[in-house]
Chain A
Amino acid sequence: MMSLPMLHNALLVGAMLFSLGLVGILTRRNLIVMFLCAELMLQGVSVSLVAWSRYHGDWGGQVLVIFVLTVAACEAAVALVFVLQAFARTGRLDAAAWQTLREATLPRVMDSKLPADDTLAPSWPTLSPAGVLPPGDPQESLQREHV
């Protein structure tokens, strides 16, 4: 049954997933997508590790995959917190919005796409008012310029 060179093909698939993930991290600008692409990279590694484990008849590779899964879950949790914080602060998921920290001599990466959605009028969801306004400072509630 095992006529196909299993290891070889799995390595090819792993390399493909890995490099797609790396390209995604390097090019995409949406923060969530960058972390999704990091998961894709880890998947590439997992595929080749399982293939190696099968090839050598050793469980070490599979154990490594288990820990990769666990650690990836940790990373995803922390990353999600950062993304949500970033969104609450700037109202956008674009990595280009985060350029405050840079060399003083280097210019900002100017982007023609940025101003377009900045000038849009905000559209708030509308619901019929129900009940009384809850106590608290009205200025405190999250005020977004755009979504």
Chain B
Amino acid sequence: MNSVSDLGSIVSRSLHDTLALSLPLFRPELCLAVTVVLLLLCRMLPVLKMLDSAWVALGGAAFALFYAWSDLRGLPGWLGGDALASRQEIFTGLLVFDSLTAYIRLLLMAFLVLYIPFTKVSGIPDREDGADFYTLVLGATLGMCLMASANHLLMVFMAVEMASVPSYALAGLLKGRRASSEAAIKYAVYGAGASGIMLYGMSLLAGLLGSCHLPTMARQLAGLAGAIPAGNLGGVEMVLVLGGLMLAVGLAFKLSAVPFHFWCPDVFEGAAAEVGGFLSVASKTAAVALLLRIAFGLGMPVAVLPGADSSSALAGQAAALQGALLGDARHFMVATIGLMAALTCTLGNLAAYGQNNMKRLLAYSTIAHAGYLLMGVAAAVALSGSHPASARTAVSAVAFYLATYLFMNLGAFAIVAFLRNALRSEEIASYAGLIRTSPGIVVATGVVLVSLIGLPPLAGFWSKFLIFSALVEAISLSAERPLMLVLLVVGGLNTVFSLYYYLRVLKVMTFDPLPADRPGEALSLVSFPGAIVTALAVPVVMLGIFWSGLYACAQLAGAFAS
């Protein structure tokens, strides 16, 4: 026990760390937290009851976007400079602020700023439910921001739960509908099981390595790996593999990666399309960021040790030595992620073939895209040991993919939601002959779906191209050549497979005859829904042509991998 005089210095150090170092880098999350409280207060005060909660939420999200943007701009290497790895641990090492944190946070906030007007126009949370809906959305997004910046297993667990539990409630948003209740129950049951398994894996890893702090764990892991030649490990590998696999179960569940994808189609079909868009875009973005965090956190020791900055060259050497020792750990991670990527991509695309419900089709499309993203992550981890510069490029490819995916997939779900309001149906067959009544929407659908396939002039092409070029680089440079070759072939074949089912939707919309008794009215682009769809589809085209600006940001995000 320390004496009382020490307590003063501990308190002042803690205050300094929290107020001066950590909170200024935590402003977007603070904005979200304040908005959650404001949404509650607005319901209590009679004057503020007149205010629509969507505008309160949008204001909070806009502030958060502004701060996230200024955080990204403040990074070293912004616009033209050499992107340096800048890494700062905040809140006594529980979170880490670096370029990946800033980039993912910016994506999530941009998503919110687009998503709130979309839900306001589509009308799924009506005026009465709006405050609850936006509280849940903002709370879940707060958890997702923490997922992107977690540096400690406690924060990993907390962040995953903070993102998941509000999502269960969101899945059950349509209280009167049986399908919605079923989606919520399935999501909650599977989610409870997956989080339990993940937690057990964490307890094994943390117990064996004696810490929950990811960089410390990496150092301990390197120490263990250094002891392998001495041969006194005594079964440690088995515990490590078991712990790693159980942790991977939880992450795969969040990513909807095969074999833990089974919840995804049911939940997307049962929940409202708006909620599907949230789960598909925001949740996926955060889960990929968390996977990168854990894979790089455990596979690559950080160069600058805390408290050893005076001799950073020495520390860098030590980190390089430890990095060499962690080769086996990286090999294990690459094999797991790569295998999962190949399975996820193939199964997602094949299962999408027979679907009649548009939301279910998009759920399988989400699964397939998780597969492509996992391929990029696998390539990045495979390259990280030997070729840090190429690993950066691979991470940049993943980051770029996430940004384009935001527009493409949110656009697709927005179209489903607006067509549901117009046609009272979410079946693909009900879209027949839509080109005669609402040609603008069909063009927007075409843009979004063709971009999801990854065909040339659109943004989706560049993201797939970057992922595949990262795989090619991994084939030529890394030691994981066979697996990367398999991934490249699987990815290419799947892109061809996916042509059919995306184009089938367009075929129904354009060539099938218009049914005589179509309910509902036409959907014009010159309306609020049309404006939202345009706002989501135009960036898909623009990013296909002017992609270099976004790629510069993505390269900045990739700088964390060095």
Contact = CB atoms under 8 A, between A and B. Distances in A.
Given a CB threshold of 8 Å, the question of whether A touches B is answered with yes
Interface of A: 14, 18, 21-22, 25-26, 31, 34-35, 38, 41-42, 44-45, 48-49, 51-52, 55-56, 58, 60-61, 63-64, 67-68, 71, 74-75, 78-79, 82-83, 85-86, 89, 95, 98, 100-105
Contacts of B269: 101
Contacts of A64: 153-154, 157, 203, 206, 212
Interface in B135-173: 153-154, 157-158, 161, 165, 168-169, 172
A51 B186 CA distance: 33
Nearest to A63: B154
Given A78-B168, A83-B185, 4 more contacts: A42-B196, A49-B207, A58-B210, A101-B183
A34 B189 contact: yes
Nearest to B201: A45
A128 B433 CA distance: 62
B13 interface: no
A86 B185 contact: yes
Residue with the greatest number of chain A CB neighbours at <10 A, chosen from B188, B189, B192, B355:
B192
Interface of B: 153-154, 157-158, 161, 165, 168-169, 172, 175, 178-179, 181-186, 188-189, 192-193, 195-197, 199-200, 203-204, 206-207, 210-212, 265-266, 269-270, 351, 354-356
A29 B395 CA distance: 43
Contacts of A89: 178, 181
A45 B203 contact: yes
B182 A98 contact: yes
Contact of B196 (A21, A58, A86, A101): A21
Nearest to B204: A48
A45 B178 CA distance: 34
Contact of B179 (A49, A61, A101): A101
Contact of A55 (B189, B207, B211): B207
B354 A82 contact: no
B483 to A, nearest CB: 30
A22 B207 CA distance: 21
B189 A25 contact: yes
A18 B212 contact: no
Given A64-B157, A105-B354, A38 B196 contact: yes
Residue with the greatest number of chain B CB neighbours at <10 A, chosen from A51, A101, A103:
A101
B266 A86 contact: no
A82 B199 contact: no
B160 to A, nearest CB: 10
A86 B181 contact: yes
Nearest to A51: B207
Residue with the greatest number of chain A CB neighbours at <10 A, chosen from B179, B185, B211:
B185
Contacts of A38: 189, 192-193, 196
A104 B356 contact: yes
A49 B203 contact: yes
Contacts of B207: 48-49, 51-52, 55-56, 61
Given A55-B207, A64-B154, A100 B178 contact: yes
B212 A102 contact: no
Contacts of A18: 196, 200
Contacts of A52: 203, 206-207
A116 B186 CA distance: 25
B196 A41 contact: yes
Nearest to A53: B207
B214 to A, nearest CB: 13
Contacts of B351: 103
Contacts of A82: 168, 172, 181, 184-185, 188
A80 to B, nearest CB: 10
